[in-house]
Structure formats: C-alpha cells, structure tokens
Amino acid sequence: MALKKPNSMEECIYFTNRSIGDGFAIAWAYRKECPKCKKGRLGKPIKKNGKIDKKADNYECPLCKYQESNEEVEKGLQLEIEYKCPYCGHEGETTTEYQRKTFEGVPSYVFECGECGKKIGISKRMKKTKKKDKS
C-alpha cells in the first residue's frame, strides 16, 4: 500500500502533522470528488462575504454547486496516515475512518500501529490554555 500525499491543501478537507511522543503522524483526508460533475471536490460553501462557512451543514461543489449533507460526505471520507509509532518505532502507512472517537478522554482520530498493534490517537487540537507564568 502506498499512500499518495496531497499536492496541495486545496485537495484536503483535513491535514495535520503531529509529533506523538517519540513518533509522529501526518494525516490527511481528501475532499470528496463531486459525484455530479466529477471535476470539482466538495467543500464547505463560501459565504457572501467570501469566507468559508465552516458551520454549514452541507458541502458544495465549487464548480457545479451540487450539494450533499455533512453526514453523507463525511461517512465516505477516509483519513490517510503516515506515521512513526511512538511505542515501537515502526514507520508505516495506514488509513482509518474520518470520524473522531474519544481516546484517552480527548476526541481523536484513532489508528493502530501495523507492527505492535497499539492504538495511537490524533487528538483534536485544543485551543491553547493560557499558562499562568509567574516569571
């Protein structure tokens, strides 16, 4: 299995690059190809002010304006992951569903190391909490 890394962020609905302990994970999910015109990739609709409407409950093809619900689009997506296992050091590639699960108390995309079978979580990035530094 060889994953194809995205050429640009435009192709992705999600992209992250994390260090996890002594390992790392680079994960991405491609936008779904428009089933209607097969040229565009579905993305969140653009609001009148030109900004992406991240909270919209549907995705839209930028070319033909075909729409699909969030649920419909996201259940068909998969997360592709290139990783180095923080437990055994194995470097590999895998895929998992584009669906966050609670992992160690944090919403995360979870995958298993192909070598040691340990579960590895890519946690949702939390907003930085202000540290109370006295120095």
CA distance 15 to 3: 14
Closest CA to 93 of 78, 73, 74: 78
Q: Which amino acid, 117? A: G
Instruction: Determine if 61 is a binding residue for Zn ion (CB under 5 A).
Output: yes
Q: Which of 21, 115, 119, 124 is in the footprint of Zn ion by CB under 5 A? A: 115
Task: State in angstroms the smallest separation of the CB of 9 from Zn ion.
Answer: 20
- Sequence-distant (6+) residues with CB within 8 A of 101 are 107, 108, 109, 110
How many residues lie near Zn ion (CB under 5 A)? 15
Q: Which stretch binds Zn ion (CB under 5 A): 3-11, 40-48, 70-78, 99-107?
A: 40-48
Residues that bind Zn ion in the complex, under the rule CB under 5 A? 34, 36-37, 40, 61, 63-64, 66, 85, 87-88, 90, 113, 115-116
